[in-house]
Structure 1
């Protein structure tokens, strides 16, 4: 119950502060976020993290597949195959990022 009350107070406080900041501050924050997201260093870090995640997912899938003896659903197996195929390719992913 304590956490629910804390969450509600935080939500109310955020709403009040957000409405006082207004549209101008929102646009300013949005512009800053867009600039950060378009920074080549940030994009490269995101792509590297994505590749590491795909590699880890492949290893985890193999370990789980060995453990459960092939009882992994076909849809999951296909998704992992697709992700493995992307890990080696330098092409863009569905978010338009690439390791350039």
Structure 2
């Protein structure tokens, strides 16, 4: 899989750097992308996403740490080596499930936030043409 990705990236870079029009087209794409990226609405969303990810990402290491502690306790607990192994495996499975649940919660919350931002952005862009039409009709 890595080889295929490398091949695609290599072909893309080769096109951009190797063709006469490639560098010019690359500069055009880059200029347009920077214009869009630097728009205030885009930067507002970027700031919101960074803050959101910072809040939610803190939950994952906590779940991992809790899982590690549970596994360590079960490995050092009382019982025969076989019982300790069984307890450690069970604690490891539980820890993996907990981390998975936390990660899924973070992803779901991010999706909801992105959908809300997208709907908010589309609603504001949909209202702009209507305002433009009404101002044109008033002339």
Normalised to the residue count of structure 1, the TM-score between the two structures is 0.49
Larger Cα-atom Rg: 2
Query: Whose helix proportion is higher, 1 or 2?
Result: 2
